[in-house]
């Protein structure tokens, strides 16, 4: 006889659902532990990021460049100023990516703009009990909804969203330029 799903034992389906349920619960526990770790280790990552950038900037500006360039000449002074400009931009954009709020739909401005536009809110966050405009997601680490959420970055201990997206990408760009400058001068 041919095997058909109607002839399958109901016990097989129950076992499969039981395993899936256990796996789902186990994954939820692992996710909660990871989110808790990121929530508490975030300030350490920010301090580590600041210290790494500061260490590279110091060693390049005050150790490598004085040994390889004559900083008292016009060309050496311009090189020092250019490298300083790159590292100031790295630090400035990093600090703004860390400190600027990524944006949240619970602020009154966002709710008023949605109401004025006549946009019917189709989605609500079950955890925050707030409207979720397009591209808004709930961050399990920050425990809030973020406008235009890209991701939660442990290196800035913040979500990358509408408010700090520009600073985060500028930080990445200037970090890339800083890496090129460092490789060029060493």
User: What is the token pair recorded at 52?
Assistant: 């790494």
Catalytic residue among 26, 153, 159, 179: 153
Burial class for 112, CB neighbours closer than 10 Å (0-12, 13-18, 19+): exposed
Whole-angstrom distance, CA of residue 155 vs CA of residue 138: 19
Is 153 marked active-site? yes
Evaluate whether 154 touches 95 at the Cβ level (below 8 Å). Answer: no
Whole-angstrom distance, CA of residue 110 vs CA of residue 57: 40
Give which of 66, 46, 9 is closest to 171, Cα–Cα.
Answer: 46
Q: Which residue(s) pair with 125 in the sheet?
A: 130
Catalytic machinery residues: 153
């Amino acid at each position: 006889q041919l095997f058909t799903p109607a002839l399958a034992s109901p016990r097989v389906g129950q076992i499969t659902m039981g395993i899936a349920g256990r796996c789902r619960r186990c994954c939820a526990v692992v996710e909660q532990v990871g989110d808790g770790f990121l929530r508490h280790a975030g300030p350490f990552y920010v301090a580590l990021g600041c210290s790494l950038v500061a260490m590279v900037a110091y060693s390049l500006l005050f150790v490598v460049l004085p040994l390889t360039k004559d900083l008292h000449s016009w060309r050496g002074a311009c090189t020092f100023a250019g490298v300083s400009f790159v590292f100031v931009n790295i630090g400035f954009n990093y600090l703004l990516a860390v400190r600027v709020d990524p944006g949240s739909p619970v602020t009154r401005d966002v709710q008023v703009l949605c109401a004025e536009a006549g946009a019917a809110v189709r989605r609500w966050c079950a955890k925050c009990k707030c409207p979720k405009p397009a591209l808004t997601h709930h961050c399990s680490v920050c425990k809030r909804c973020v406008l235009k959420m890209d991701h939660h970055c442990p290196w800035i201990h913040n979500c990358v969203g509408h408010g700090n997206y520009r600073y985060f990408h500028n930080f990445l760009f200037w970090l890339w330029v800083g890496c090129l400058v460092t490789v060029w001068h060493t």
